Structure formats: C-alpha cells, structure tokens
Chain A
Amino acid sequence: MKVSWDWLKQYVDLPSSHEDVADRLTMVGLNHESTEIVDGDPCIDFEVTSNRSDCLGHIGIAREIAAVFEVELRVPEPKLAESTTPTSGEVGVQIEPHAACSHYTARVIRGVKVGPSPAWLVRRLQTIGLKSINNVVDVTNYVMMECGQPLHAFDRRAIQGREIIVRSANAEESFEGIDHQTYKLSPGMCVIADEGRVIGLAGIMGSVNSEIVADTTEVVIEAAAFDHAAVRQASRAIKLRTDASHRFEKALDPAGVAWASDRCCELLLQVAGGELLSGRVEQGAPLPTADAIELRMPQFERLIGISIETSRAIDILRSLGCEVTEESAGAVLKVQPPSWRRDLTREVDLLEELARIHGYDRIPEKGKIGMSVVVRPPRQVALERVRKTLACYGLDESFTSSLVPAVWEDWSGIEADQAPLRVQQGMEGVLDRGMQAAGAVDQLRRSLLPSLVEARRINEFRGSRDAELFEMAKVYWPVANSLPREPFTLAWVMGNEFPRAKGIWESICAELSLVTEVESAAPRHPAFHSAHQATFAVQGQAVGTIGVISDRLMQAFHLREPVVLAEFDLDQVLALARLERTFNQLSPYPSVARDFNFVLGEAVRWSDLQQCVQRTRPECIESIDYRETFRAPDKDGADQKRVLLSVTLRAPDRTLDGDEVEQICQAIVTSVGSRVGGRLLA
C-alpha cells in the first residue's frame, strides 16, 4: 500500500519525520518496503498482511499512526447536497441468486462536466503512482485509496433500461475491459449487467462499453461488497489483477460501502459539478455486526509474558476504533470491534492488538522455561555413521527433486502392480537443459536411481567425469485408502567398480554392526545390468541392490561411461542397526599366518570357499583374507581358477604350536577338497 505523506496530513497531525513514522509502523505490523520522494511528497510503501484490509487506504494507515503516536484521528464526514429527484426513479438494482455479491448500491449524478482534475487531486494520485484519467474516474480512485473500498462510475447512457443486474456470467460470455482486452468469462464469475450486456466484471474492472468519456453527462456510482473468494478466483482465472481486485480479494469493511458511496459523490459534486439524485438504490445489506468480545485482562500476561495497565489497554483499543466498557472492576473488558476490523473476533485477537501497539520490544529476552534434555534417537546416530562412511569413500552428498518426469521410471524399468503417484501440476524450471524433452516433472519417485544417474550425466557433460554421488531421501509408494508409504532410501552412483561399491556397503554394515550376505535367490532388478548385480540381505531380509547400470538406463540418459549404482531401504537397515559396542577379550598369544593357493571350478564362489575354511576350527581362525584370483587355463584346464587366500590362526588360550598349525592347515585343505572340489596348488 503506497501512501502520500501529504495526503495523510489530512487525517492526522503527523508527529514525526516520515522516516520515523515508517520505522514505527514497521514495528506495529506495517512493514516498510520503500520510500520515494515524488515531486517533493514522500510516497511510502507499506506491506499489508492479508488480515488487514483496513490498511489498504490512507485512513487505515492514519489510524495506525494515531494509535502508535497517541494523537487524534480525523475521519471526514461526507456532506451531501441531494436534489429532490429520487435515484430510484432513474435506476434499479437486482442481485440474482448465486451472484457473489452481498450488498450493491448505486447513486446517480446528472449534469456532470467531465474534464481534467484539479491540481491537488492529480498530485495526490501521482504521488502514489496513479495516472490522472479525468475528474470522475480520478475521484473514484481517490476514494478507494482513501478508505480502501473500490468504486466504479458508469456512463448512464450505456445502461440499457433501468435495471442494474448483478449476476453470474454465462458460459461463452466475454467481456471487453477498459484496458481494451477481451476476457472469456465463465459461470461463477460475478458480472454487472444491464438487460442485454455485461457492463462490468464485479470487483475487477469496468467495461469499455460503459466507461466515462468526454461527453458523459450522467454517471452511476457503484459501491458494493463482492465475495472475496469469487473475486480472487475470477481474477486468477482471467489473469487480471487491479487495485480493485487486490482489495476485494480481502474481506473489506461491510459498513464502508455506504460511506465510500457518499464520499465519492461529495467529491464528484465538488470537482465535476452536477445534480445528485436523492438516496442510494441498494440491494443486500451490510453484514450484521459481531457480538462484543470479552477480554480477560489477566490473559495478557499469561500469553505475552508482561503486564499492561487496564487504562492503557482501553486507550489502545479505543484508538483502533473499538468500543470498550469495563466490567468486574477492570478485570474484564467488553470490546466491540469496529466494522472495518473483521479480523478481530476473539479474545486472543485483541491480545495481539494490545501487544503490538504496546510494543513487542517491551517483552524481555528472558522467559521462564526450564532446562530439558534430549536423548539423541539411535536412528539419528546411525544415519550420521552412514553419512560419514560414504564421505570417507569420497562420495559427495547430493539433494535431488522428489518429483521426476514419468519417463524416468520407464527407463529404469520399475515393475509394480500399482501406478505411481502423480501431482496435478508439474514442477517448472527444475530440469537441466539436456533433459527438457523428458516431459512434465509430476511423478513422485519410487527410486532415487534415475535422479542420481541424471546428476552424474550433468556432471559428465560439465567435464566432471568422476562424480560419485549419494543421496538419502524418501521415495513414495501408494497405499490403498491410506497415506502413501514413504521409505527412507539411500542410493549412490559411482565409477564402474562393483567391488568398491560392495566395500562401501560392507563398511556401512560394519559401522552399524550388521552382517550382510548376498541374497542369491533375489529377483533381478531391471535398473541394473542383468548379470552384474547382487541383492544384499541383513538378517535374512533383502535390503538393497548393488550393480552395474543396465544398458537401457545408460543409453536413455546418454551416459558416456557405465557406472555402478546402489540402492538400499534405509528404514529397514537402520531398524536392524546395533550401535553399542562391547569389548571382546584380546588373546595374548601370537598369531600365525598361512597362505593357500587353491585350484577351483569357476562356479565355486568365494563365500563357499570361505565357509569351508571357517568351519574347520572356528575358534582358532582369526581371519580369512582373500588375496587374488588367477586363471591359467593351459595349466589347470578351462573353467578353473586359482584363488589365493591367507588365513590367520590364533587361539584365545594358548600358543598354537607347529603341529597344531599343520593339523589345521591339513583340515582346511581336506575341507576345501571334499566340499567344493578344490585342490591345493603345490
């Protein structure tokens, strides 16, 4: 809301500089945006919150100044010289059922002389950025900017017949505004019409067919209350915002309609002359005033934390326009808020008024809340460990959008019975230039993998071919008749080295004291290469997959080089995590290491070999370390491999002597021979 400093002087004796007033008003809720000196007159722009429609006019701002600086407010009382001819003989008003209008008034002035406005009027409008049109239009704008109630002037000649009809627009109806643009209307929008045609779009703009022109001599002044939601919807639908619609979108003062109509006619007679017909023609009525509010004075301290004198409270409320009476020896106030403050309906609303005018700076920065202790939830601790582990491996954390183009899921081949969740409108401006063709960003993702592949692609394109990224975020699965399931998910993308990816997962498990195994019976995951993938389980539950990217996904995203992807259900993993560690007694006895080089069939997996070794003398085997795999088909035959491993032996209670070590080694060789058909290479 832009106000003219000079204009404000009409309503209040300004007690201070405009800079100081702007600062003080900021501290009572009118946020000072900017000040510009226009032709010597400061134009001060205040941000008005949506509950304070009363401050969308100069009088409202002046009232706040009066309350803050404790000075008197002067609101002009319109004095009208009406002729004896009744307005009702000239025009009538009908509000049709379902029209979004609760109150409509019309007045008529005959014999006006349309012409330029007087200098004072031009100047005031100019300060707040309004161009002068002619004296009639300027007065309607002036009164809107004075009290916040929009008005409209029609040329009487343009109204066919006697009746002004307020109705809902018909389908296929259109409207040409005074901006010479044509708007398509639809039912639900409220219009002002005569017998035949639309002459105004309620609360938004008048029509060019009834605008005030140079030879207009008879004007109809509309002042009305339109439904704020309907005006907002219409204004949004036709993408037209005006000073009037901006005001009507808020709940305006219902009692302000009559005042604005009278004030407008008073000024019109002054600047354009003519004869004002007698009386307002009106339909509908102002809203009944609300009941008085009981304000229990002790509630102020209970909520705000400081006390206020009852007399001070009464002064503040009265300065804002409330009627106040004391009850119970000042412990309770009966407060009747003014009609322009429809936001004041409850005790707590009045407490806020008292607090803001009394001054929030009076509240000390010291309260009475006691100490309280927060136990860090294990889940949070576990998550931090996961994050740190990933960082240790050089992966950078990324944040990607929860909404993705639908086609990404097709590319990654997610197979599910249910359709994914979609939103009604997509995100705008979030796709990289290279991905514009992917379509609307309106699907809630069920996997983080495509988002990470896209991030990898963008990095490749920008010259960082080594981007290794992880993300922890929710994915979304619809659930019938319930809120969706939102599993918290970990995923990463990295260079094409499966064992390194597996090592990261193993380190995460080690951090969380979990043992992980490859789940050999798991179904293939289509986002991964059909041969080079593995599903991992913890305590028998499959929790995620690591693998090389599928050819399809790689080609769809135009990745230059293959990558390894991993995705895990963190909710499952974190639930199984064990965070406490307990000490295991160290053996004081020396260890002995022995290397074995076995020749085995290709089909024998490391996990099988490891088990063969482990089961021989578990209490003496400290570790079994994989070293290397060689293949020498000319010596060993096809489909054979050589696996070199190292076994460390140590007993908890004695030194293993040479004989015992030999026995264990022999047992290992025998076990491997009998269970997986491996032979020791001489």
Chain B
Amino acid sequence: MAIEAFLEALDQLAQAAQRTFEAATDDESLEAARIEFLGAKNGRLKTVQKGLGAVPGPDKRAAGQRFNEVRDLIQNALQNAKERIQAGSSGESASDPRFDPTLPGWTRRMGRQHPIAQSIAELVDIMGRLGFSLEDGPEIEDERHNFDALNIPSDHPARDPLENFYISGGDSQVLRLLRSQTSTVQIRVMENRKPPIRIIALGRVYRPDTADPTHYPMFHQMEGLLVDRHVTMADLKETLRLFANCYLGTDVQVRFRPSFFPFTEPSVEVDFFWNDRWLEFGGAGMVDPNVLRAVGFDPDEVTGFAFGLGVERLCMRRFGITDIRDLYTNDVRFLRQF
C-alpha cells in the first residue's frame, strides 16, 4: 500500500470519527461510536492500522507517526464527547467555534473535455436536431474524393503540392493526400446512397500553413449536405437560420454574400446578424451539377445544398481564445478552463 493511500485512509477516518463523536447525544450512541472507531477487534482504527504493515519500509516511520496522531485525535474526540454528555448539555449548542463553513469543501477534480470536442459535440447535437446525421470518412484520401469529384480542375491552385500534404511513403502508385476539406465525405456518402441525403461530416483537415496565432496546419471542419428533389437556396437559408438560432440562442438573421467555390454554384458566404453586427459563419451554396454528375446523380432530377465552416473559429469565438496554437499545446492550465 502506498503511503499516500494509507495517509488518505487515516485522514478520512479522523474526520469521520470526529463527526460521529460530535453527533453523539447520549451514552448509548457514544458507546456505539466508540465501538465503531476504537473497538479492540473490529474497530475502524484497527482496520486502518493493518494497512501500516503494507507501507513500504522507508515510509513506515512517517506513516507510524501520523497513525499515532490520528489515534490521539480520535481518543480526544471520544473524551470530549463523554464530558459533553456527562455535563448534561442535552440540546445542541447555538455556536461552535470549531465549525468553520468557510473551509474549502472536499472536491474531486473532474477532467475537462477539450474545447474543440465541446464545439464538435454542440454542432453534432444541433445538426442532429435539424435531421442531419453524422458521417465519417478517411483522413487520407485519393484525388478523386478530394478534388476530381468536387469539380476542382486538374490545374487548380488548390491541388498545388505546396498547398497540400501529399503522401510520399507507402507502396501505392496512386496519389494520396491528407484531406484538405471534409467535402470528401459528401462524395463518399453520395457514391453509396441515393437521395434523400441529409448528413454532416466533421473532422480533421490539413493544409500546410505555418502555425501562427490564426493558422494551424491541422484544423477541423464541419460540412453539411442535403440532396433531394426540389431543394432550393431558400431551404439552405432556413437551415442555416435554424442552426444560428440554436447555436447563438436567439433569433438570428442570415445574409448571403456571393462567393466562389468549385463544388457549389451558386456559392455564397454566410453571415449571421447577432448582437448588432454581422458574424462570418462559413461558406455555402447549391451543389454544383458537375458534383452531382460525378456521383451518378441527374442534376435535372435532384438538387442539393452544402455548407461548411471551420470549427476552430467557432470555438475560439465562443471561448474567447485568441491563439489557435493554444488549442494544440495541451497545457493543463488552458484545458482546465473550459
């Protein structure tokens, strides 16, 4: 038995004994308490004493000393209780200077969920309530899923070797890379399922930015996708408004600004009007017909919308974090704040 465990058992015993003796109101309850704690055969002090034998040699002396102190303490408590009861003070006293409610309570430290994990859990929860189920996909991808099927042409700058972590090891002849976006999961889901499709994908993505207060070469994205007959931009706006209302807790106005992404057409940037200002949320748009065709859907039959956002940005805004690198340093003084 480690000395720490032995000392802890002793401390607990001392506190329990003191409480019990102080609570005794007559000879009978006091005797019961005496047997419980100081009983010669099965008293709790005796039981703890047995543990002394198991304390490693070098610690024995300290353990023994502490044991003696606790024994004296308990015996004193018994004596005090005896005197108190004999003195015939039957009722409880109005004040007890030894009772200090300002002493710290006994706490047990709970571990904390990482702020990113908290944000992810919240996003999954909200989107789940809106009917979007969570899908997973590989982090190491091929070009089809990271680029081709997403309508990113072969000469597009997004494919540049300097913009991606291409895999160099392994025995495969096929070009693979750490996915640069979670849109890859859209393609994998659409390849294997027929509409209606209503999913989110969430996870790690990778781009070779040098780490600084606002960049990290690994980060997290959430991507939503809805494909069905008769899906319009109004549906996209409604979904994002419901999301925003849920996430921000109040009724929020949604704004679209035109933008450009290869995999959506039209493409928009999405802002939420909240606390008297526009907050940037992320990108969105209607799934490009080329993407639908790439997975074997007919754009004249089905339409769809997609949206994506950076989890770190939401998380940092929510918690007031100013340096993204803090999220990946794992200093417990940081982690324990959330």
B172 touches A481 (CB 8 A): yes
B114 touches A427 (CB 8 A): no
B234 touches A427 (CB 8 A): no
The A-B contact count (CB < 8 A) is 276
A368 touches B235 (CB 8 A): yes
Q: Contact check: which of A236, A384, A394, A459 meets B110 at CB < 8 Å?
A: A394
Partner-contacting stretch, out of A12-20, A373-381, A522-530: A373-381
For residue A468, CB closer than 8 A to chain B, the reply is yes
Contacts of B171 in A (CB 8 A): 478, 480-481
For residue A112, CB closer than 8 A to chain B, the reply is no
B217 touches A374 (CB 8 A): no
Q: How does the 8 Å CB contact mask read for B107-145 relative to A, with 1 for contact and 0 for none? A: 011111110110001001000110111100011111000
Contacts of A368 in B (CB 8 A): 230, 232, 234-235
Q: How does the 8 Å CB contact mask read for A414-434 relative to B, with 1 for contact and 0 for none? A: 000001111111011110100
Q: How does the 8 Å CB contact mask read for A477-506 relative to B, with 1 for contact and 0 for none? A: 010111110100000000001000000000
For residue A371, CB closer than 8 A to chain B, the reply is yes
For residue A356, CB closer than 8 A to chain B, the reply is yes
From residue B257, how far is it (CB to closest CB) to chain A in Å?
6
| Cα separation A563 to B26 with both chains bound (whole Å) | 51
For residue A139, CB closer than 8 A to chain B, the reply is no
Q: How does the 8 Å CB contact mask read for B241-267 relative to A, with 1 for contact and 0 for none? A: 100000000000111111110000111
Q: Which of A377, A396, A422, A469 has the most CB of B within 10 A?
A: A396
Report whether over half of chain B's contact residues are helix, strand or loop; otherwise say mixed.
mixed
Contacts of B331 in A (CB 8 A): 458-459, 462, 464
A478 touches B170 (CB 8 A): yes
For residue B316, CB closer than 8 A to chain A, the reply is no
For residue A305, CB closer than 8 A to chain B, the reply is yes
From residue A555, how far is it (CB to closest CB) to chain B in Å?
22
Q: How does the 8 Å CB contact mask read for B27-58 relative to A, with 1 for contact and 0 for none? A: 00000000000000000000000110110000
A484 touches B335 (CB 8 A): no
Contacts of B67 in A (CB 8 A): none
For residue A400, CB closer than 8 A to chain B, the reply is yes
Given A371-B131, A390-B111, A444-B140: A467 touches B332 (CB 8 Å cut-off): yes
A29 touches B303 (CB 8 A): no
Smallest CB-CB separation from A353: which chain B residue? B266
For residue B279, CB closer than 8 A to chain A, the reply is no
For residue B313, CB closer than 8 A to chain A, the reply is no
For residue B336, CB closer than 8 A to chain A, the reply is yes
Partner-contacting stretch, out of B73-81, B85-93, B96-104, B208-216: B208-216
B110 touches A391 (CB 8 A): yes
B168 touches A423 (CB 8 A): yes
Smallest CB-CB separation from A230: which chain B residue? B155
Given A397-B113, A425-B165, A628-B50: A305 touches B333 (CB 8 Å cut-off): no
A484 touches B218 (CB 8 A): no
For residue B236, CB closer than 8 A to chain A, the reply is yes
| Cα separation A49 to B285 with both chains bound (whole Å) | 15
B289 touches A374 (CB 8 A): no
For residue A306, CB closer than 8 A to chain B, the reply is yes
Residues of chain A whose beta carbon lies under 8 Å from any beta carbon of chain B:
26-29, 31, 49-52, 228-229, 232, 236, 249, 301-306, 346, 348-349, 351-352, 355-356, 360-361, 363-369, 371-377, 380, 384, 387, 390-403, 419-425, 427-430, 432, 444, 455, 458-459, 462, 464, 466-470, 473-474, 476, 478, 480-484, 486, 497, 628-632, 644
A selection of 20 A-B contacts at a CB cut-off of 8 Å is A49-B259, A303-B303, A304-B266, A356-B258, A367-B237, A368-B230, A391-B110, A393-B111, A394-B109, A397-B114, A399-B328, A401-B218, A421-B169, A423-B165, A423-B168, A424-B166, A425-B165, A427-B208, A427-B211, A629-B54
Residues of chain B whose beta carbon lies under 8 Å from any beta carbon of chain A:
1-2, 50-51, 53-54, 108-114, 116-117, 121, 124, 128-129, 131-134, 138-142, 155, 157, 160-162, 165-172, 176-178, 196, 198, 204, 206, 208, 210-212, 216-218, 226, 228, 230-239, 241, 253-260, 265-269, 286, 288-289, 299, 303, 325, 327-333, 335-336
